[in-house]
Structure 1
Amino acid sequence: MMKEVDQMASVASPKSVFRRLLKYLSPHRGLLTLAFVLLAIGTVADVLGPVLIQRFIDNYLTPKHFPILPLVLLAAGYLLMQVASAGLNFVQLVMFQNAALKMIQTLRIEVFGKVQRLGLAFFDRTPTGVLVSRITNDTEAIKDFYVTVLSTYVKDAMMLVGIFAAMFFLDLRLALFCVVLAPLIVVTMVLYRKWSSRVFHQARRKLSQLNAKLNESLQGMYLIQAMRQQERLRREFSAVNQEFQAARLRNIQINSLMLRPLIDVLYFAALVVIIYFFGFQSFHRIIDIGVLYAFVNYLERFFEPVNQMMQQLNVFQQAMVASERVFQLLDQTLYAPTQKLESAGDDRGTAAAAPVITSGKVSFDNVSFSYDGETEVLKNISFTAYKGQTVALVGHTGSGKSSIVNLLMRFYPVVQGQIAIDDIPLDSYSDDELRSKVGLVLQDPFLFVGDIAHNIRLGSHRIGDEEVVNAARFVQADTFIEKLPHGYTEPVRERGSTLSAGQRQLISFARTMAIQPKILVLDEATASVDTETEEAIQIALEKMRRGRTTIAIAHRLSTIQDADLILVLHHGEIVERGTHQELLAEKGLYHKMYLLQQGGREAVQM
C-alpha cells in the first residue's frame, strides 16, 4: 500500500498556522476594512429591529394607543433598517469574498511555484498523487476558510456583540445570564477542535493516498491491462477508500454530537430559564410583553450565530489541517541545487558579472554521490570532455550513467568532489545560463499539450517561427511535420500520445537544437527510434555534436563507436576508458558487452 512520505518540515502549532493564514489578508487591508465598516453598520441595523418592535408592543399595542404619525415613523424606521441591513450585508459579503478569492489565488500560485523549484530528490521521495492532493484538495479547503469560515465568524461575532449590547439595554440580569452561557459554548468549541483534529488529519492522509493510488493506476494503465492487474488495483483502491470512509464517518459522529445538537440543548435550556424568569416576575409585578418578546427574539438570534459558527467549525478544522499540510510543502527545504544560485545571482550582478559558458569544456574531479546518504552510486568519478569532443558513458543498469548526467544538469547537489564547466565550478553559474547552454535529450521524450511549434519553442520568446522550422529541418523532423494536417500547428495531446515514439524523439531533438546549446547531453537518444529513422537521426546527431561538447549515455555500443572517449562504468566506478578500438583491444568489460550485443559465440562470464 502506498503511504504518504512525511519528508516535510513541521509547523510549530495551530496558532502559528492561523497567524500565517491571516498574513495573506495584509495586501487587501483597504478592501477588508471597508467591508468590516459596512458589516458593522448592517449589524447595528439588524440588531435594532427587535428593539423597535418592543417599543411598538409596550408603548402602543399593549395600551391600545395607535397614533398615526409615530406608528408610521416606527414602521418606516423598521423597514429602512431591514433594507439597509440586507443591502449592506450583501455588499460587504461580496467585497469580503472577492478579497478571499484573491488570497487563495495568491496562495495557489505560491504553492505551485514552490513545487516547480523543489529538487528532484524531493520528488523521488514523495508520490505524485500526494502533491496533487496538497495543491488541489488542500488549497480548496483553505479557500473555504477564507470564503466562508472567516466571513461567517466576523459577521456572527459582530452580531453577538450587538445582541449582548441590546440585551444589557433591555434587562441587566437576563443579559448576565446569557453571558454565563458564553464559557459553555467556548468549552464546546475547544473540545470539538481537540477531538476532531486527529480525525481530520487521518482523513486528509487517506485522501492523499487515494489520489496517489489513482495517479499510479492511470499512468500505468497499459501495464495494468496487459498484466491483468485490474482486480488487484481495485482491491487496493477499495481498501484505501474504506479507510477514508471510516475516517469521514468518525468525523460525522463527532459533528452529530458536538455541533448543532449540543448547542440546541443549551438554547432550549436558556429559553426555559427566560420564560421561568418572566413567569415568576408576573406573580409580583406587571411584565412588559415587548421586553419578553425582544429577549426571546434576541435569544434565538444569539444562538443562531453560535450555531453557524459551530457548523463552520467543521470547515475551519479541515482548513487548519489542510493549511498545515500546505505550509509544510511551502517550508520544504529540499530545493533544487539551482535555487540558491537564483537568490545569490542579484548579489553577483552588483559585485561582479556572472560567469558565462563559452567553450563548453566539462570536467569531473573525484566526484562521489549518494541519493540516500548511505549507498554511493558514484565513486571518485574523474574525466574531462573538451569542446567538440564526444564522451560516451556505457555500463550495465545501475552502474551510475544517469547519475553523472543528473549531477551535470544540477538536478542534485554535488556534495563530494567538483564539477566544472570551462574550469569554473558548476555552482557558480546561474540557472538561466546553465539551462540555456546545456541541451538535454532524454530516452523517453516528454511533450506538453499544445502544438508542434509550442513543444519546440517551449514558450521562449527568443525562438521565433523561423528558428522553430530551422531546428526541425536540422534534425530532419520537418519531413513528418509538414505531412501533418496542420503542420507545425498540429495539436499535441497529453504526452504526445497521437505521435509515434520516433516522432516524439525528433521533436525533442528539434527542441534542444532550437536553443543552440554549447553542451549536448544525450540519454540513449535513439532508443525509441526504428532502424530506418535511426540512420537519419545518426546523421543529425553528428551535425548536432559538431563543435559542441557531448556527453552521451549509450546502451547500444554501435551508436558510440566514433566517440572520442568511452567511459565504462561498473558499480559507480570508471573501470575502463579509451576509444572503441582501444577498449576492444583490452578485452575487458567493454569487449564482453560488445560481443554480447554482436551475438558473439565466445563464452562470456560477466
Structure 2
Amino acid sequence: MMDTKQNLRRLLSYMRPYRKLLVLAFLFLILGTAAEIAGPFLIKVFIDNHLMPANFEQQALLTLFIAYLVLHLLKVWLTYLNLLYFQNIAFKIVQDIRVEVYERVQQLSLGFFDRTPIGTIVSRITNDTESIKDFFVSVLSTFVKNIVFLIGIIAAMFLLNVRLAFFCLILVPIIVFIMRVYRKKSSIFYEEIRTQLSLLNAKLNESIQGMSIVQVFRQERRLRREFEEVNGRHYEAGRKNLRFDALLLRPATDLVHVFAVIMVLGFFGVDALDSPVQVGVIYAFVSYIDRFFEPINEMMMKLSLFQQAVVSSSRVFELMDEKDLAPVQEGAGSPVVTDGRIEFRNVTFSYDGKRDVLQDISFTVNPGETVAFVGHTGSGKSTIMNLLMRFYHVRKGEIFLDGADLRQYEEAEIRRQIGLVLQDAFLFAGNVKQNIRMYNEGITDEDIREAAQFVQADSFIEQLPHGYDTEVMERGSTFSSGQRQLLTFARTIAANPKILVLDEATANIDTETEEAIQAALKRMRQGRTTIAIAHRLSTIQDADQIFVMHHGRIVERGNHQELLAQQGLYYKMYLLQNKGSLSKAL
C-alpha cells in the first residue's frame, strides 16, 4: 500500500484540470469567511462603544445593524456559491477517477481476473470510489473551508489581544496531536472494514451468479453461514472503529474546548485585578473560541470519512497501478491478416508460472483448412485458443499469423480477423440487433438479417414480440441456451472474420438445432481457417486435421479415418462415445 501522503498527493492531482473553478471557489470562501468573522467584531463594538457607556445614538446603531445584517446575508450567499463550486468540482473529479479505473480494468489481462474475485473488483470500482467521492464532496471542502476560517479567527484574536492569542495557540498542537493519533490508529480498522466489505461483495456475486446450483444442491444454509461469518467480521471491525471514534472525535475536542474557555475567562479574571476589562472583548474572545472549535469539531467528525477515503484510495490506486496488463502490440510494423495461415512453433505455457499446461506445441493450419483439438478436460485445448486470441503472453515459443509474429499485430486487427464463439454464449443488455451488430456501425441492418438467416437464427428472432428490436435481459436470461448460441453465431458471421475459433460452440444446442448449425458451420468455414475445440467427436469428423491433446502435448494428429486406424487415444475416445461401436465411422 502507498503511504497516506502519496495517496493524498495523487488524489489532489485530479484537481489540476479544474484550476479556474477552484480559484473562484477559494475567492468565495475567503470573502464568506471574512464576512462571518466580522460578525462578533461588530457585536464587540456595540457592547463596548454603545451598550456599556449607554450611548444609544440611533444613526450609529442603525449603521451597525445594517452592516451586521448585510454581512450575514453576504456570508450566506457566498457560502452557497462556495459549496456549489467545490461540490461541482468534486463530482467531476470522482467521475474522472471512476472512468479511469474502469478503463484500467478493461486493460488488465485475463490472468488477473483468473486470480481475483469479481466481487472484490466491483467493490473497488463502486464502494471505494464512493468513499473517494465523500472525500472530495464532503471532507476536502470542509477542511479547506474550516482551515481558512480558523486562520481568520486566529487573526481576529490577535487584533483583540495579542498575549491571549499567543496563549490560545497552545491549543493548535493539541488538536493536531489528536488528529494524528486518530488517523494512525483508525487506518487499521478501516483497512479491515474495506477488506471484509470486498469479501462480502465476492460472496454475494458468487451466490447470485450460481443461484441455480445453490438451490439444486441445497447450499443455502452453508452459504448463509459463510456470509454471516464474513458479515460478522465486517461488523466487528466497524464496532471497534465506532468505539475509537466515540473516544477521540467529539469528546476529546470538547474537553479541549472546555479547557480553552476556562483559560480565557481565567486570563481576563486575573487581568481584571489590575485594570478594567472590556466586556465586549470578553464576549468577542469567547465567541471566537466557540467559533474556533466549531470547525475543529466539524473536521474531527469528518476525519472518519477522510480515513476511509485514504484507505479506499490506496485500494483503487493499487488496481489502477496493476502491472498484469493484457498483451499489446510489440515491435515495429502493423501486419494484416490476408490468408489466415496459423503456425504454433514450440509453444510452452503456464498460467501460474509453476505447472506447464502446454508443452512444446507445434502445428500448422493452412488457409481455408479446418482443424480440431480433442482431448480430456484440462489437456490444454482451450489454452491454445487463449494464446491464439492473444489473451495471454506467450512465455516460450512463437505463434505466427500469415508468417508474421502474433505479437506484431495490432489488437484491432486480431479482434477483427478472428471470430470467437464460446461454449457459454454471452449476451449484453440491449436488443437483438445490437447484440449481433456489437455497435460496429459498418454492419448494416441487412447484414444483420443475412447473418441471422445464414445461421438459421432468423426463424426464432422473427417470432419474438418485437423481432430484431426485442430487448435482451442481462446475459440473455430470457432466451434458451440454444437461442443465445445462435445469436453469437450470427454476431460472428456479421463481422466476417478470416479465422474462426469455435470453443465447444455446439455443446449447449439440442440435436435438431445442432444439425442446422453444423450445416451453417460448413458454409461458414468455406474460405476461412477454422479451429474447433470439441468433446463430441461427431462434430469434427470432417476436419482436415485433428490434434489429440494429452497432458499439454499433441500425442496424435491426422484426419478422422487416419486416427481411427492408429487405434490410439482418439480410437478409445471414439469407442467410448459410440458405446464400443465403429459402425458410424465406417
Question: What band does the TM-score fall into relative to the shorter chain?
Answer: over 0.9
Give, in angstroms, the shift of residue 378 of structure 1: 0.2
1:65-109 deviation per Cα after TM superposition (whole angstroms, max 9, x unaligned): 011111111111111111111100100110110011000000000
Instruction: Please state if 1:39 is matched with 2:29.
Output: yes
Task: Write the letter of the residue equivalent to 1:426.
Answer: L
Cα distance between partner residues in 1 of 2:161 and 2:444: 79
SS at match of 1:527: coil
Q: Which among 350, 371, 390 is matched to residue 370 of structure 1?
A: 350
SS at match of 2:399: strand
1:475-504 deviation per Cα after TM superposition (whole angstroms, max 9, x unaligned): 111011011111001111111111111100
Task: Write the letter of the residue equivalent to 1:276.
Answer: G
Q: Which among 198, 202, 214 is matched to residue 192 of structure 2?
A: 202
Cα distance between partner residues in 1 of 2:229 and 2:374: 44
Cα distance between partner residues in 2 of 1:601 and 1:33: 83
Task: Write the letter of the residue equivalent to 1:319.
Answer: A
Instruction: Please state if 1:137 is matched with 2:117.
Output: no
1:205-216 alignment, distance < 5 Å = 205-216=195-206
Cα distance between partner residues in 1 of 2:529 and 2:45: 92
Match in the other structure for 1:123: 113
Cα distance between partner residues in 2 of 1:174 and 1:86: 30
SS at match of 2:39: helix
Q: Which among 277, 283, 302 is matched to residue 312 of structure 1?
A: 302
1:119-198 alignment, distance < 5 Å = 119-198=109-188
Q: Which among 28, 39, 49 is matched to residue 59 of structure 1?
A: 49
1:409-488 alignment, distance < 5 Å = 409-488=389-468
Cα distance between partner residues in 1 of 2:185 and 2:539: 64
* RMSD of aligned residue pairs (Cα, Å): 1.0
Structure 1 unaligned regions, length at least 5: 1-9
Instruction: Please state if 1:22 is matched with 2:12.
Output: yes
Instruction: Please state if 1:595 is matched with 2:575.
Output: yes
Instruction: Please state if 1:497 is matched with 2:487.
Output: no
Cα distance between partner residues in 2 of 1:377 and 1:279: 85
Task: Write the letter of the residue equivalent to 2:238.
Answer: R
1:516-558 deviation per Cα after TM superposition (whole angstroms, max 9, x unaligned): 0000000111110000101100000001111000000011101
Cα distance between partner residues in 2 of 1:91 and 1:273: 37
Instruction: Please state if 1:361 is matched with 2:346.
Output: no
Instruction: Please state if 1:260 is matched with 2:250.
Output: yes
SS at match of 2:170: helix
Cα distance between partner residues in 1 of 2:202 and 2:315: 16
* Matched pairs, number: 582
1:395-433 deviation per Cα after TM superposition (whole angstroms, max 9, x unaligned): 000000000000000110111000010010001110111
Instruction: Please state if 1:567 is matched with 2:547.
Output: yes
Q: Which among 35, 39, 59 is matched to residue 49 of structure 1?
A: 39
Cα distance between partner residues in 2 of 1:280 and 1:174: 12
Query: Kindly tell me: are residues 585 and 124 of structure 1, through their superposed partners in 2, closer, same or farther at Cα, counting changes over 3 Å?
Result: same
Structure 1 residue runs of 4 or more that deviate by more than 4 Å after TM superposition: none
Match in the other structure for 1:509: 489
Cα distance between partner residues in 2 of 1:259 and 1:215: 36
Cα distance between partner residues in 1 of 2:53 and 2:247: 46
Give, in angstroms, the shift of residue 601 of structure 1: 6.7
SS at match of 2:56: coil
Cα distance between partner residues in 2 of 1:601 and 1:443: 28
Structure 2 unaligned regions, length at least 5: none
Give, in angstroms, the shift of residue 301 of structure 1: 0.2
* TM-score normalised according to structure 2 size: 0.98
1:174-214 deviation per Cα after TM superposition (whole angstroms, max 9, x unaligned): 11121011000001000001110111001100000000001
Instruction: Please state if 1:533 is matched with 2:533.
Output: no
Match in the other structure for 1:90: 80
1:420-452 deviation per Cα after TM superposition (whole angstroms, max 9, x unaligned): 100100011101110000000001100111111
Cα distance between partner residues in 1 of 2:217 and 2:522: 40
Between 1:468-477 and 1:313-322, the stretch displaced more is 468-477
Task: Write the letter of the residue equivalent to 1:214.
Answer: L
SS at match of 1:514: helix
Cα distance between partner residues in 1 of 2:47 and 2:61: 11
Between 1:121-130 and 1:70-79, the stretch displaced more is 70-79
1:194-273 alignment, distance < 5 Å = 194-273=184-263
Give, in angstroms, the shift of residue 285 of structure 1: 2.2
SS at match of 2:419: strand
Give, in angstroms, the shift of residue 280 of structure 1: 2.3
Cα distance between partner residues in 2 of 1:482 and 1:273: 85
Task: Write the letter of the residue equivalent to 2:72.
Answer: Q
Cα distance between partner residues in 1 of 2:353 and 2:127: 33
Match in the other structure for 1:389: 369
SS at match of 1:284: coil
SS at match of 2:78: helix
Cα distance between partner residues in 2 of 1:355 and 1:25: 41
Match in the other structure for 2:532: 552
Between 1:63-72 and 1:327-336, the stretch displaced more is 63-72
Cα distance between partner residues in 2 of 1:405 and 1:281: 88
Give, in angstroms, the shift of residue 386 of structure 1: 1.1
Between 1:319-328 and 1:451-460, the stretch displaced more is 451-460
SS at match of 1:448: coil
Task: Write the letter of the residue equivalent to 2:537.
Answer: L
Give, in angstroms, the shift of residue 578 of structure 1: 0.2
* TM-score normalised according to structure 1 size: 0.95
Cα distance between partner residues in 1 of 2:101 and 2:521: 39
